[in-house]
Amino acid sequence: MATALAAAAQTQPPAHHWAIVLHGGAGVIERSSMKPEAEAAYRASITQATQAAANVLDKGGSAVDAIEAAIQILEDDPLFNAGRGAVFTADGKNELDAAIMDGSNLKAGAVAGVTRTRHPISLARAVMEKSPHVMLIGAGADTFAASVGLEEVDPSYFFTERRWQGLVKQLQKEGRPIPPRPAGAPPPPTGPLTEIEPPEAHKYGTVGVVALDRAGNVAAGTSTGGTQAKQWGRVGDSPIIGAGTYASNQSCAVSATGTGEYFIRLGVAREVCNLVYFKGMPLQQAADQVIHKELEAMHGDGGLIAITPDGQLAWSFNAPGMYRAKLAEGGKLEIGIYNDEP
Ligand code: ASP
């Protein structure tokens, strides 16, 4: 018996070391406009979300489980443009997009324009695992969420004052009409905003996580409120499989952030994985090629995080900042915000 067990153990593939890369959006995030309290708050949130993913992976959980755990935290955190704290559309609504992809089987789920589901990332996962479809939109997606028992909230749950002020400011600047304050929102503050940052600093904050689990599988997930003051049911790259989110054990897993229109046209996430797969490029080189050559050639802006099944981790961005973190099993947590950090 003991020999049989020993022989079986020898034929088991070696366990992989788990790893995570996380982003909290890219954009004009500059030291000069960031108060120390704000910076500390972002670093604390990113640390907490990365740790949540690490705890899942360390117990042998899947990359998909780890991604959902981390993104749920960021969706609940009003600092980020995902879930509660999402930016507003020009009509004064929060329309949320999310996607998740499992690199072990190429299964994927995505939602766009969701307004009532507390955790869009969990809805994307439910689309992947509990529906025959890949992408659901709008009211139908929220109805599906309720049918599979996901937590539904009143749309005003997603309201935050500084995002509202951010919308009002942008619309005023552009000479566009200001929509009425959303039903169910708290009354306007009487004094000045006591938020830790000026409203314009809050346009950014899409969140994404890529992970490698002990079984050697990679996955990617992204969640966002899209771009501030968007109109006409606009959908960005985040929930588009191959654009803002992609994962395959054959190559890599990617989550992107930035002006989605460019990322859709370039098929950014799949493009990085194609460079890894077809050209055998190291992951960092593939990420830099797509961001600094291909995206820049189109005058696009943003960034991405990526991971391979053999444990390469990468990020690349061409904006002044991207909230980001990396953690590999047994290693030290690396966190960055500005572009002069490693
Ligand atoms: N990529 C997102 C979108 O275009 C926005 C962002 O990442 O800031 O919807």
Question: What's the mean pLDDT in 61-67?
Answer: 98
Mutation to probe ligand 1, out of 237, 266, 304, 324 (largest number of atoms < 8 A from CB):
237
pLDDT by residue (tens digit) across 304-333? Answer: 999 999 999 999 999 999 999 999 999 999
pTM given for the model: 0.94
**SS3 at position 59:** coil
pLDDT tier at 126, thresholds 50, 70, 90: very high
Ligand 1 centre to CA of 228 (Å) is 9
> Of all protein residues, whose CA lies closest to atom 5 belonging to ligand 1?
226
222 is catalytic: no
CA distance 236 to 173: 23
CA distance 304 to 231: 25
With vertex at residue 185, the alpha carbon angle to CA 184 and CA 189, rounded to the nearest 5 degrees, is: 145
> Of all protein residues, whose CA lies closest to atom 4 belonging to ligand 1?
260
Q: Where are the beta strands (DSSP E) in the chain?
A: 19-27, 96-102, 107-114, 135-137, 207-212, 218-224, 245-247, 253-258, 302-307, 313-317, 321-328, 334-338
pLDDT by residue (tens digit) across 148-173? Answer: 999 999 999 999 998 999 999 999 99
Which amino acid would we find at residue 320?
Answer: P
User: Taking CB atoms and a 6 Å cutoff, what residues make up the pocket around ligand 1?
Assistant: 25, 204, 206, 224, 226-227, 236-238, 244, 257-260
Mutation to probe ligand 1, out of 204, 257, 305 (largest number of atoms < 8 A from CB):
257
With vertex at residue 106, the alpha carbon angle to CA 98 and CA 8, rounded to the nearest 5 degrees, is: 125
CA distance 236 to 230: 10
Residue with tokens 């749309």: 155
Q: Which one from 89, 115, 206, 227 is the annotated catalytic residue?
A: 206
CA distance 248 to 305: 14
Number of the ligand 1 atom closest to the C-alpha atom of 257: 7
String of b and e for 85-94 (b: at least 16 CB within 10 Å)?
bbbbbbebbb
The whole-number pLDDT of residue 93 equals: 98
